[in-house]
Amino acid sequence: MAHIIHADLDAFYATVEQLDNPELRGKPVLVGGRPESRGVVATASYEARPFGVHSAMPMRTAVRLCPQGIIVRPRFNRYREMSRLVMDVFRDFTEIVEPLSLDEAYLDISEAVNEAEGRWPLGVALELKRRVKEETGLTVSVGVSASKYVSKIASDLQKPDGLVVVPSGDETGFLAPLAVGKLWGIGPKTAERLNAEGVETIGDLASKPTDWFARVFGQRAESVRLRAAGQDNEPVHTERVTKSVSSETTFPDDIGDTEELHRVLDELASGVSGSLEGKGLQGRTVTVKMRLADFTTFSRQSTLPRPSNDVDPIRELAWRLLSAELTAGRTFRLLGVGVSNFSDGEEERQLPLTLEGDFSAVRREWWLPETTPLP
């Protein structure tokens, strides 16, 4: 029988800041950019949330709702460091860990559970929470069930520092009274449409006939129907085929200074190069992702003459791509660098001293303006 945990660190960025600076403890902390430069809230502490503040909210709005809030600029290197410590704790319980982001992961604890010897899912979850708290100072909300998506829903119900265990076989009863919007794949607009048809809860949804699902959800009908019934057999994935390696950062304040952009790009390219080397990969296609101050998001990409994981050619090509987009008055709120199109290892690893390529044929991909939470 499968036993799967979804573990989600509570208000991760804000909690790290409160741990590192005792003066912030017990106070409303807003991690993100400055309101005067169209900053966005990355994470709000639980002291700020009763005022209506949430992640991805413009900082200007957050300050209006919570004028006593303390704005703290993000420190992503510190958050990555703390995330590694937490993931190390997770791997003490099981090697089957699927990180979803810096602050959440799935764990398959089936091998750690042995009811005959008194090791129950609840006991494993309690020990996991205790270890994370003692070794990092962070609190983690945990959901436990036989499936990934039920565990994810469960972990969100009693935040912060929550723990919800759904016994095997009780999934349908657990889901039935919850709002239909809690179900994976049901966004706000779909939930509103379902509510208009009298479908308020997941139980209401599960009771609908098969032909109704086909009419409402089309190709997604069967997957939505099974999830509403509490049926999901997706395993916890520890390895995935790597199609690209990338790194990006969202700035707390918009950046238009060329030297600062060059510094950030250099750091991103170095990180990607190190990841490629660690994975034993060499790629040819370099992509630079950019998001402007108005949230317009687009990418530019071009190809190296030969596969590489060396930082110099990756950085040089990335800078050429970014340089072409630097115009007077244009400022950026996000920058990312990625490498893809990996070699099968048969090509000789040899790069010329200078880069070549037709930059007039750079691929262009555009997205409509959007509001996206910080990573």
Q: Which residues are catalytic?
A: 104
Q: 93: closest CA among 81, 79, 109?
A: 109
Q: Is 327 left (phi over 0), alpha (psi -120 to 50) or beta?
A: beta
For the chain, how are helix, strand and coil distributed in percent, rounded to 5? 40, 25, 35
Reduced to 3 states, what is the DSSP secondary structure of residue 237? coil
**CB neighbours of residue 148 within 10 Å:** 23
What is the Cα–Cα distance from 236 to 326, expressed in whole angstroms?
42
Lookup: tokens for 341: 């199109």
Q: How far apart are CA 54 and CA 56, in angstroms?
A: 7
> Buried b vs exposed e over 85-96: b needs ≥16 C-beta within 10 Å?
ebeebbeebbeb
* CB of 62 closer than 8 Å to CB of 29: no
Q: Which helix (H) or strand (E) holds 140?
A: strand 140-145
User: In the Cβ-directed half-sphere of 322, how many Cα atoms lie within 13 Å?
Assistant: 33
| Cα 287 to Cα 290, 291, 295, 358, distances in angstroms | 10, 13, 18, 15
Q: Which neighbouring-strand residues pair with 249?
A: 335
